[in-house]
Chains A and B, each alone.
Chain A
Amino acid sequence: MSAHRSLSWLFTLGLLATLPVAFAGGIRGTGDLGLVIERTTGSVRILETSGNRFLARVEGLGDLSHASVVYSRDQRYAYVFGRDGGLTRVDMLEARVDRRVVQAGNSIGGAISQDGSLVAVSNYEPGGVRVFDAATLEPVADLPATFGDGRRSKVVGLVDAPGNRFVFSLWEAGEIRVADLSDRANIVVTRYEGIGVNPYDALVTPDGRYYIAGLFGEPGLAVLDLWHPGEGVRRILSDYGPGDEPLPVYKMPHLEGWAVAGGRAFVPAVGAHELLVVDLESWDPVARIPLQGQPVFAIARPDGRHVWVNFALPDNDRVQVIDTESLAVVSELEPGPGVLHMEFEPRGEEVWLSVRDENRVLVYDTDSLAVLTELEAATPSGIFFTARAHRTGL
Chain B
Amino acid sequence: MTRRIPYLLALAFSFAMAVPVAAALEPERERALGNLLVHDCGSCHGTRLRGGLGPPLTPDRMRHLPRDWIVDAILDGRRGTAMPPWRALLTPEDAAWLARSLQSGVVE
Contacts and interface: CB of A to CB of B under 8 A. Distances in A.
Interface string A70-112: 0000000000000110000000000000000000001010000
B4 A83 contact: no
A250 B2 contact: no
A252 B82 CA distance: 9
Interface in A198-244: 198, 200, 216
A379 B51 CA distance: 20
A248 B88 contact: yes
A42 B4 contact: yes
Interface string A57-80: 001100101100000000000000
Interface in B16-62: 35, 38-40, 42-44, 46-48, 50-53
A59 B88 contact: no
B47 A40 contact: yes
B2 A59 contact: yes
B51 A125 contact: yes
- The SS class assigned to the B binding surface is loop
B86 interface: yes
B84 interface: yes
Given A40-B4, A106-B50, A356 B86 contact: no
A73 B43 CA distance: 30
Contact of A124 (B39, B53, B84): B53
A65 B82 contact: no
Nearest to A57: B2
A2 B35 CA distance: 55
A265 B51 CA distance: 32
A357 interface: yes
A372 interface: no
Nearest to A108: B52
Contact of A338 (B39, B46, B53): B39
A11 B44 CA distance: 48
A41 B5 CA distance: 6
Contact of A40 (B5, B84, B86, B88): B5
A250 B53 contact: no
B17 to A, nearest CB: 20
A83 B53 CA distance: 11
Interface in A329-372: 338, 356-357
B85 interface: yes
A219 B46 CA distance: 26
B43 A66 contact: yes
B89 to A, nearest CB: 6
Contacts of B88: 248
Contacts of B47: 39-40, 63, 65, 83
B65 interface: no
A375 interface: no
Given A40-B8, A250-B84, A314 B52 contact: no
A313 interface: yes
B77 interface: yes
A158 to B, nearest CB: 15
B24 to A, nearest CB: 24
Given A83-B47, A83-B52, A124-B53, A41 B4 contact: yes
A106 B40 contact: no
26 contacts: A40-B38, A41-B1, A41-B2, A43-B1, A59-B1, A59-B2, A65-B39, A65-B43, A65-B46, A65-B52, A84-B48, A84-B50, A106-B51, A124-B51, A200-B82, A248-B86, A249-B82, A250-B40, A250-B89, A251-B40, A251-B43, A252-B43, A252-B44, A252-B82, A338-B39, A378-B5
Given A83-B46, A251-B43, A338-B39, 14 more contacts: A41-B4, A42-B4, A59-B2, A65-B43, A106-B52, A198-B82, A216-B82, A248-B88, A250-B86, A252-B53, A313-B40, A314-B89, A356-B39, A357-B39
The 9 closest A-B pairs by CB, nearest first: A248-B84, A65-B47, A41-B4, A248-B85, A249-B84, A40-B8, A251-B43, A65-B42, A250-B84
Interface of B: 1-2, 4-5, 8, 35, 38-40, 42-44, 46-48, 50-53, 77, 82, 84-86, 88-89
